[in-house]
Structure 1
Amino acid sequence: MKRTHSYLPTTLAATGTLGAQIATARRELGWTAAQLAGRIGVTPAVVARIEKGAPGTAIGTVLEAAVVCGVPLFGVDTAELPSVADRTRATLALLPQRVRRPIAEISDDF
């Protein structure tokens, strides 16, 4: 039995927005769904799910479709993505590697 997962409205809005951007870019390029599918190594049905914003679609596949269609990711040009990733990793290096639950404070005020 397949488990269902309910997504937050913001998640659904984000996947729907990215899917619409990919569909728009694909059509502006003059490609059919089958042509995009061939370029990213999936079936046309997967492209249809991406363009509908189905949140269960593999993130790598969705991002591959976006890159192939020229959709900007994270608000930057594709050439800038490596430097954005480097800056993000530098910030991550400053944070603790593990996050622990805060120790519950015991009230000894009787």
Structure 2
Amino acid sequence: MPRRTHVYLPATLDAARVLGTQIAIARRELGWTAAELAGRIGAAPALVTRIEKGSPGTALGTVLEAAVVCGVPLFGVDAADLPGAADRSRAALALLPQRVRPPTVEISDDF
């Protein structure tokens, strides 16, 4: 069976490249090799290369781990402020309905 290839939106690809580049910059500023970062996040150096190139197929958790380890701010806040940001997001989500249903279409039978 042929493998399906997902086509990502341009904005998704741009976001992955931006985050990957920020990780690469931070890693180099820290003076770490790709192998050193890989060891710190429990991954192979080749995976670090894919992260830094912005490969969209890389596991999100691994990319976020690399960003946090390198000190790259996520969601506009420092790592120390992420718990508060998560709490605020959960509070906002709690105000919304748990399920979203498509709107019902009113059928006009007034001919």
TM-score by length of 1: 0.97
Q: Where has structure 1 moved over 6 Å in runs of 4 or more?
A: none
Q: Secondary structure at the match of 1:2?
A: coil
Cα distance in structure 1, aligned partners of 2:78 and 2:35: 26
The alpha-carbon deviation at position 15 of structure 1 amounts to 0.3
The alpha-carbon deviation at position 30 of structure 1 amounts to 0.7
Cα distance in structure 1, aligned partners of 2:42 and 2:106: 54
For residues 28-67 of structure 1, what are the structure 2 equivalents within 5 Å? 28-67=29-68
The alpha-carbon deviation at position 12 of structure 1 amounts to 0.6
Equivalent residue number for residue 14 of structure 2: 13
Structure 1 letter corresponding to 2:40: R
TM-score by length of 2: 0.96
| Identity score, percent | 76
Cα distance in structure 1, aligned partners of 2:20 and 2:40: 17
RMSD: 0.7
Q: Secondary structure at the match of 1:63?
A: helix
Equivalent residue number for residue 75 of structure 2: 74
In structure 1, the gaps of 5 or more residues are none
Question: Deviations 1:42-67 (Å, cap 9, x if unpaired)?
Answer: 10111011000000100000000000
Question: Deviations 1:30-87 (Å, cap 9, x if unpaired)?
Answer: 1110110010001011101100000010000000000000000001111111011101
Matched, 1:100 2:106: no
The alpha-carbon deviation at position 101 of structure 1 amounts to 1.0
